[in-house]
Amino acid sequence: MRYTKTKSLFAGAALVMSLAACGGDGGGEVDVEVKEDYNPPAGSTMERIVDEGKIKIGVKTDQPGIGFQEAGSDTPEGFDIEMGKVIAAGMGLEPDQIEWVPTISDNREPFLQNGTVDIVAASYSITDERREIVGQAGPYYVTGQQLLVAADDDSISGPEDLDGKKVCSVTGSTSIETVEKEYGADPAGFDTYSECVTQLQNGNVDAVTTDGAILLGYAAQDPDNLKVVGEAFSEERYGIGYQKPDDTEFCQFITDTIQASMDDDTWKEAFDATLGESGVEAPEPPEMDPCE
């Protein structure tokens, strides 16, 4: 990925980002215009981050279109990555002031709680349980759980076919809980979805389950052998994680910054340049939750 750094020319200019569509890797190529005149409220989380001169963002690195890092590349790509850049730019931080921290589903809350990251942008569904222990602003995207199976397998076409089947998903995800509790699957839990995809390709499991947005990226990488089947059977509302559930000021900043990107179409351009590369049309941006 190429970063082009440009600065706002106008004092008081709102956050503006422009994204140049890129060719085919589901990663996007982004020009960020940073909100250089951003003045954080005294004592706020934004002030702490601005004073540190960098933001640590927890992201996935093995989910094509969402958060993916090519071997040998030093920056990840994907829709979550673009949302991370939008938030950083809103605080006046350049892309090279972002530290991308690889996360897996299971360490998102601990990484927020122990300060390993400032925010999480990692296919992170908003749930009541998670909102008890960390903050989640959003949703900035809504998807739903689906199934990935071998292209020549006609025995599974929806979650009702999973009873007794070996289904791979990721520890600490909403996905593994749903298939185990609601559909009687025999769950195989791994750290990452890419490990699950390997299990499926090797014939060790019958299906992989997680959000459709994630599965489409894997199917697109190996269309001769993999297919996504059935309708979505859950609602996954992606949010930006932050440390303290009661940090309303930070929640409001994140929400307003993402909302601005939705209003000026940056959000849609980011979608088209990342997840949209697999042929999915950009949906209408979702309505975001109030912060209090």
8 A C-beta contact, residue 109 and residue 134: yes
Cβ-based nearer residue to ligand GLU, 122 or 149: 122
Binder among 8, 61, 146, 174 for ligand GLU (CB under 6 A): 174
Query: Which of 61, 173, 199, 261 lies at the binding interface for ligand GLU (CB under 6 A)?
Result: 173
Minimum distance from residue 109 beta carbon to ligand GLU (Å): 11
> Please, which residue, 175 or 255, has the CB nearer to ligand GLU?
175
Question: Is 266 among the residues that bind ligand GLU (CB under 6 A)?
Answer: no
The DSSP call for residue 284 is P
Q: Does 178 bind ligand GLU (CB under 6 A)?
A: no
Can you tell me the distance from the alpha carbon of 265 to that of 263, in angstroms, rounded to the nearest whole number?
6
125 binds ligand GLU (CB under 6 A): yes
Q: Which residues of 231-244 are buried (b: 16+ CB within 10 A; e: fewer)?
A: eebbebbbbbbbbe
Instruction: Output the smallest distance, CB 136 to ligand GLU, in A.
Output: 10
Q: How far is the CB of 111 from ligand GLU (least distance, A)?
A: 13
- Please state the closest distance from residue 132 (CB atom) to ligand GLU, in A: 15
Could you identify the residue written with the tokens 């400032």? 118
| Comparison of 8 and 274: residue with beta carbon closer to ligand GLU | 274
Size of the site for ligand GLU (CB under 6 A): 12
Question: Can you point out the beta strands (E) in the chain?
Answer: 3-7, 16-20, 29-34, 55-59, 62-63, 67-68, 98-102, 119-120, 135-143, 145-150, 166-170, 186-190, 207-211, 226-229, 236-242
Out of 123, 136, 199, 209, the residue judged to bind ligand GLU by CB under 6 A: 123
Length of the chain: 292
Task: Tell me how far CA of residue 232 lies from CA of 113, 155, 215, in angstroms.
Answer: 31, 18, 11
Q: Nearest to ligand GLU by Cβ — which residue?
A: 173
Q: How far is the CB of 271 from ligand GLU (least distance, A)?
A: 17
Decide: 215 and 232 in contact? Cβ < 8 Å. no
At its nearest, how many Å lie between ligand GLU and the CB of residue 215? 10
> Which residues, numbered 191-220, are part of the site for ligand GLU (CB under 6 A)?
210-211
Q: Which structure tokens are listed for 25? A: 């890797």
| Interface characters, 48-87, with ligand GLU (x: CB under 6 A) | ----------------------------------------
- Euclidean distance between CA atoms 162 and 277, whole angstroms: 30
Which residues of this chain interact with ligand GLU, rule CB under 6 A? 105, 122-125, 170, 173-175, 210-211, 236
